Protein backbone atom coordinates (compact mmCIF):
# COMPACT_ATOMS: atom_id res chain seq x y z
CA UNK A 1 0.00 0.00 0.00
CA UNK A 2 2.56 2.56 1.14
CA UNK A 3 4.83 1.88 -1.82
CA UNK A 4 1.92 2.02 -4.31
CA UNK A 5 3.12 -1.23 -5.84
CA UNK A 6 -0.07 -1.80 -7.79
CA UNK A 7 0.43 1.58 -9.50
CA UNK A 8 3.92 0.66 -10.72
CA UNK A 9 4.88 -1.24 -13.84
CA UNK A 10 6.37 -4.71 -13.44
CA UNK A 11 9.66 -3.34 -14.75
CA UNK A 12 9.69 -0.66 -12.05
CA UNK A 13 8.91 -3.23 -9.40
CA UNK A 14 11.78 -5.44 -10.51
CA UNK A 15 14.12 -2.44 -10.48
CA UNK A 16 13.02 -1.53 -6.94
CA UNK A 17 13.71 -5.06 -5.71
CA UNK A 18 17.18 -4.94 -7.23
CA UNK A 19 17.99 -1.52 -5.75
CA UNK A 20 16.75 -2.48 -2.29
CA UNK A 21 18.91 -5.60 -2.40
CA UNK A 22 21.95 -3.42 -3.18
CA UNK A 23 21.48 -1.04 -0.27
CA UNK A 24 20.01 -3.39 2.35
CA UNK A 25 21.82 -2.94 5.68
CA UNK A 26 22.87 -6.03 7.67
CA UNK A 27 20.11 -7.52 9.79
CA UNK A 28 17.22 -6.10 7.76
CA UNK A 29 15.05 -8.59 5.87
CA UNK A 30 13.79 -7.82 2.37
CA UNK A 31 10.26 -9.06 1.61
CA UNK A 32 9.08 -8.21 -1.90
CA UNK A 33 5.42 -7.90 -2.81
CA UNK A 34 4.64 -9.79 -6.02
CA UNK A 35 0.84 -9.57 -6.14
CA UNK A 36 -0.68 -8.64 -9.50
CA UNK A 37 -4.01 -8.86 -11.31
CA UNK A 38 -2.27 -11.16 -13.79
CA UNK A 39 -1.16 -14.51 -12.38
CA UNK A 40 1.57 -14.77 -15.02
CA UNK A 41 2.96 -11.36 -14.04
CA UNK A 42 2.80 -12.30 -10.36
CA UNK A 43 4.75 -15.49 -11.04
CA UNK A 44 7.33 -13.58 -13.08
CA UNK A 45 7.81 -11.10 -10.25
CA UNK A 46 8.22 -13.98 -7.80
CA UNK A 47 10.82 -15.65 -10.03
CA UNK A 48 12.71 -12.38 -10.30
CA UNK A 49 12.64 -11.87 -6.53
CA UNK A 50 14.20 -15.30 -6.05
CA UNK A 51 16.92 -14.55 -8.60
CA UNK A 52 17.71 -11.26 -6.85
CA UNK A 53 18.09 -13.11 -3.56
CA UNK A 54 15.45 -11.47 -1.36
CA UNK A 55 14.40 -13.05 1.93
CA UNK A 56 10.72 -13.68 1.21
CA UNK A 57 7.80 -12.75 -1.05
CA UNK A 58 4.25 -11.67 -0.29
CA UNK A 59 1.17 -11.29 -2.46
CA UNK A 60 -2.21 -9.65 -2.07
CA UNK A 61 -5.18 -11.40 -3.71
CA UNK A 62 -6.40 -10.36 -7.19
CA UNK A 63 -9.13 -7.78 -6.74
CA UNK A 64 -10.91 -7.42 -10.11
CA UNK A 65 -11.61 -11.04 -10.99
CA UNK A 66 -11.72 -12.35 -7.44
CA UNK A 67 -11.26 -15.92 -6.23
CA UNK A 68 -14.73 -17.36 -5.69
CA UNK A 69 -13.86 -19.32 -2.57
CA UNK A 70 -11.02 -20.58 -0.43
CA UNK A 71 -10.08 -23.35 -2.90
CA UNK A 72 -9.68 -20.80 -5.72
CA UNK A 73 -7.62 -18.53 -3.46
CA UNK A 74 -5.35 -21.37 -2.40
CA UNK A 75 -4.91 -22.54 -6.00
CA UNK A 76 -3.81 -19.02 -6.97
CA UNK A 77 -1.41 -18.87 -4.02
CA UNK A 78 0.04 -22.27 -4.95
CA UNK A 79 0.98 -20.98 -8.39
CA UNK A 80 2.58 -17.77 -7.11
CA UNK A 81 4.49 -19.50 -4.32
CA UNK A 82 5.69 -22.29 -6.63
CA UNK A 83 7.29 -19.69 -8.92
CA UNK A 84 9.80 -18.98 -6.11
CA UNK A 85 10.02 -22.30 -4.25
CA UNK A 86 13.16 -21.35 -2.32
CA UNK A 87 11.51 -18.31 -0.73
CA UNK A 88 9.03 -18.11 2.17
CA UNK A 89 5.61 -16.98 0.91
CA UNK A 90 3.23 -14.69 2.80
CA UNK A 91 -0.40 -14.20 1.87
CA UNK A 92 -1.39 -10.54 2.32
CA UNK A 93 -4.97 -10.54 3.65
CA UNK A 94 -6.54 -7.09 3.16
CA UNK A 95 -10.25 -7.43 2.32
CA UNK A 96 -10.93 -3.70 2.69
CA UNK A 97 -8.89 -3.13 -0.48
CA UNK A 98 -9.32 -6.38 -2.39
CA UNK A 99 -12.92 -7.24 -1.56
CA UNK A 100 -11.72 -10.83 -1.04
CA UNK A 101 -13.42 -11.69 2.25
CA UNK A 102 -12.29 -15.29 2.52
CA UNK A 103 -11.16 -15.73 6.10
CA UNK A 104 -7.45 -15.85 6.83
CA UNK A 105 -8.04 -18.84 9.08
CA UNK A 106 -9.66 -20.77 6.22
CA UNK A 107 -6.80 -19.84 3.93
CA UNK A 108 -4.13 -21.01 6.39
CA UNK A 109 -5.95 -24.25 7.04
CA UNK A 110 -6.20 -25.17 3.36
CA UNK A 111 -2.91 -23.68 2.15
CA UNK A 112 -0.91 -25.56 4.78
CA UNK A 113 -1.65 -28.72 2.81
CA UNK A 114 -0.54 -27.49 -0.62
CA UNK A 115 1.87 -24.53 -0.32
CA UNK A 116 5.10 -26.02 1.06
CA UNK A 117 6.89 -22.67 1.32
CA UNK A 118 4.00 -20.91 3.07
CA UNK A 119 5.39 -18.69 5.85
CA UNK A 120 2.22 -17.01 7.08
CA UNK A 121 -0.25 -14.20 6.63
CA UNK A 122 -0.13 -10.43 6.92
CA UNK A 123 -3.52 -9.79 8.50
CA UNK A 124 -4.93 -6.33 7.75
CA UNK A 125 -8.54 -6.44 8.89
CA UNK A 126 -10.77 -5.64 11.85
CA UNK A 127 -12.12 -9.18 12.26
CA UNK A 128 -10.37 -10.10 15.50
CA UNK A 129 -12.16 -13.45 15.73
CA UNK A 130 -10.71 -14.45 12.36
CA UNK A 131 -7.30 -13.22 13.54
CA UNK A 132 -7.50 -15.37 16.68
CA UNK A 133 -8.63 -18.37 14.64
CA UNK A 134 -5.71 -17.86 12.24
CA UNK A 135 -3.29 -17.75 15.18
CA UNK A 136 -4.66 -21.05 16.49
CA UNK A 137 -4.15 -22.70 13.12
CA UNK A 138 -0.72 -21.11 12.66
CA UNK A 139 0.65 -22.34 15.98
CA UNK A 140 4.44 -22.27 15.90
CA UNK A 141 4.51 -23.07 12.20
CA UNK A 142 3.40 -19.79 10.61
CA UNK A 143 3.61 -16.05 11.24
CA UNK A 144 0.39 -14.07 11.49
CA UNK A 145 1.50 -10.44 11.32
CA UNK A 146 -0.99 -7.81 12.46
CA UNK A 147 -1.61 -5.01 9.96
CA UNK A 148 -4.08 -2.50 11.46
CA UNK A 149 -1.99 0.25 13.08
CA UNK A 150 -4.93 1.81 14.93
CA UNK A 151 -5.74 -1.58 16.51
CA UNK A 152 -2.24 -2.76 17.38
CA UNK A 153 -2.96 -3.03 21.11
CA UNK A 154 -6.06 -5.13 20.41
CA UNK A 155 -3.94 -7.36 18.20
CA UNK A 156 -1.28 -7.74 20.89
CA UNK A 157 -3.87 -8.57 23.52
CA UNK A 158 -5.20 -11.29 21.25
CA UNK A 159 -1.89 -12.95 20.53
CA UNK A 160 -0.03 -10.88 17.93
CA UNK A 161 3.75 -11.07 18.19
CA UNK A 162 4.62 -9.08 15.07
CA UNK A 163 3.11 -6.25 13.08
CA UNK A 164 3.41 -4.44 9.76
CA UNK A 165 1.98 -0.97 9.23
CA UNK A 166 2.28 2.14 7.09
CA UNK A 167 2.52 4.61 9.98
CA UNK A 168 5.39 2.67 11.53
CA UNK A 169 7.55 4.39 8.91
CA UNK A 170 7.44 7.66 10.85
CA UNK A 171 6.20 6.70 14.32
CA UNK A 172 8.00 3.44 15.09
CA UNK A 173 9.03 4.48 18.65
CA UNK A 174 5.37 5.05 19.56
CA UNK A 175 4.36 1.56 18.45
CA UNK A 176 7.40 -0.06 20.04
CA UNK A 177 6.35 1.58 23.30
CA UNK A 178 2.82 0.19 22.89
CA UNK A 179 4.35 -3.25 22.45
CA UNK A 180 6.68 -2.81 25.42
CA UNK A 181 3.93 -1.53 27.72
CA UNK A 182 1.54 -4.30 26.67
CA UNK A 183 4.15 -6.96 27.36
CA UNK A 184 4.97 -5.40 30.74
CA UNK A 185 1.32 -5.33 31.78
CA UNK A 186 1.20 -1.52 31.76
CA UNK A 187 -2.19 -1.42 30.10
CA UNK A 188 -3.07 2.18 30.92
CA UNK A 189 0.14 3.40 29.30
CA UNK A 190 -0.38 1.16 26.29
CA UNK A 191 -3.96 2.42 25.90
CA UNK A 192 -2.83 6.05 26.14
CA UNK A 193 -0.26 5.58 23.40
CA UNK A 194 -2.69 3.63 21.22
CA UNK A 195 -5.21 6.48 21.59
CA UNK A 196 -2.50 8.90 20.49
CA UNK A 197 -1.82 6.71 17.45
CA UNK A 198 -5.51 6.69 16.55
CA UNK A 199 -5.62 10.49 16.89
CA UNK A 200 -2.79 11.13 14.47
CA UNK A 201 -4.09 8.46 12.07
CA UNK A 202 -7.42 10.32 12.08
CA UNK A 203 -5.52 13.47 11.12
CA UNK A 204 -3.76 11.61 8.31
CA UNK A 205 -7.08 10.25 7.01
CA UNK A 206 -8.66 13.70 7.26
CA UNK A 207 -5.91 15.09 5.03
CA UNK A 208 -6.11 12.41 2.34
CA UNK A 209 -4.78 9.13 3.69
CA UNK A 210 -1.81 7.82 1.73
CA UNK A 211 -0.92 11.20 0.14
CA UNK A 212 -0.85 12.65 3.67
CA UNK A 213 1.33 9.76 4.79
CA UNK A 214 3.88 10.57 2.11
CA UNK A 215 3.71 14.23 3.10
CA UNK A 216 4.53 13.23 6.69
CA UNK A 217 7.57 11.37 5.37
CA UNK A 218 8.66 14.62 3.72
CA UNK A 219 8.09 16.50 6.98
CA UNK A 220 10.43 14.17 8.88
CA UNK A 221 13.10 14.58 6.19
CA UNK A 222 12.52 11.50 3.98
CA UNK A 223 11.10 12.60 0.64
CA UNK A 224 9.60 9.52 -1.00
CA UNK A 225 8.33 11.48 -4.00
CA UNK A 226 4.78 12.18 -5.17
CA UNK A 227 1.90 9.74 -5.28
CA UNK A 228 0.66 8.48 -8.63
CA UNK A 229 -2.74 9.14 -10.22
CA UNK A 230 -5.52 8.60 -9.45
CA UNK A 231 -4.12 9.70 -6.08
CA UNK A 232 -3.07 13.35 -5.79
CA UNK A 233 -0.16 14.77 -3.84
CA UNK A 234 -0.92 17.45 -1.27
CA UNK A 235 -0.32 21.08 -2.21
CA UNK A 236 1.96 23.27 -0.07
CA UNK A 237 -1.11 24.79 1.55
CA UNK A 238 -2.50 21.34 2.32
CA UNK A 239 0.84 20.18 3.73
CA UNK A 240 0.92 23.25 5.98
CA UNK A 241 -2.59 22.45 7.25
CA UNK A 242 -1.56 18.83 7.86
CA UNK A 243 1.50 19.95 9.81
CA UNK A 244 -0.56 22.37 11.89
CA UNK A 245 -2.97 19.61 12.88
CA UNK A 246 -0.12 17.25 13.75
CA UNK A 247 1.64 19.99 15.73
CA UNK A 248 -1.54 20.56 17.73
CA UNK A 249 -1.34 16.90 18.82
CA UNK A 250 2.34 17.17 19.67
CA UNK A 251 3.01 14.51 17.05
CA UNK A 252 6.54 15.47 16.04
CA UNK A 253 7.78 15.71 19.61
CA UNK A 254 6.09 12.51 20.81
CA UNK A 255 5.85 9.94 18.04
CA UNK A 256 9.54 9.92 17.18
CA UNK A 257 11.05 10.16 20.68
CA UNK A 258 9.05 7.89 23.01
- Tell me the pLDDT tens digit for each residue of 115-125: 999 999 999 99
Average pLDDT over residues 77-91: 98
d(CA 99, CA 110) in angstroms, rounded, equals: 20
pLDDT at residue 258, rounded to an integer: 55
| Average pLDDT of the segment spanning 61-83 | 97
* pLDDT tens profile 23-54: 999 999 999 999 999 999 999 999 999 999 99
Buried b (16+ CB within 10 A) or exposed e, 143-180: bbbbbbbbbbbebbeeebeebbbbbbebbeebbebbbe
- pLDDT score, position 255: 64
- Please list, residue by residue across 237-254, b when 16 or more beta carbons sit within 10 angstroms of its beta carbon and e when fewer do: ebbebbbebbeeeebbeb
Per cent of the chain over pLDDT 70 is 98
- Residue 254 pLDDT exceeds 90: no
Using a pLDDT cut of 90, give the percent of the chain over it.
Answer: 96
CA 138 from centroid of its chain's CA atoms: 19
Higher pLDDT: 24 or 256? It is 24
Handedness of CA 249, 201, 216, 123 (dihedral sign): positive
Residue 257's pLDDT is 62
Pair 134, 215: CB distance under 8 Å: no
Report which of 90, 113, 111 is spatially closest to residue 34, judged by C-alpha positions.
90
pLDDT at 222: 92
150-176 pLDDT, tens digit per residue, is 999 999 999 999 999 999 999 999 999
Q: At what angle do helices 236-249 and 187-206 cross, to 10 degrees?
A: 160
How close are the terminal C-alpha atoms of the chain, in Å? 26
Residues tagged active-site: 92, 122
The answer, yes or no, to whether residue 256 has pLDDT greater than 90, is no
Query: Residue 85 region, left (φ>0) first, then alpha (ψ -120 to 50), else beta?
Result: alpha
Question: What band does 253 get if pLDDT is binned at 50, 70 and 90?
Answer: confident
Whether the upstream peptide bond of residue 230 has omega within 30° of 0, thus cis, is yes
Asked whether the predicted pLDDT for residue 136 surpasses 90, the reply is yes
- Taking only the tens place, the pLDDT of each residue in 90-112 is 999 999 999 999 999 999 999 99
Amino acid sequence: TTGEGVSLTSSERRQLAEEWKKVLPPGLKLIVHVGHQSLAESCALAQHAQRVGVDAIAAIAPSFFKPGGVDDLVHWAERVAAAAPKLPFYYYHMPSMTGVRISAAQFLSRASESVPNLAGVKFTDEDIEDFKAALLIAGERYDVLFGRDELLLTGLENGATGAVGSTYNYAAPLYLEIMRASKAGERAKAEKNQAFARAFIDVMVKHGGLPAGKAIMQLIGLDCGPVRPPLRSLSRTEVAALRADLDSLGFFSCASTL
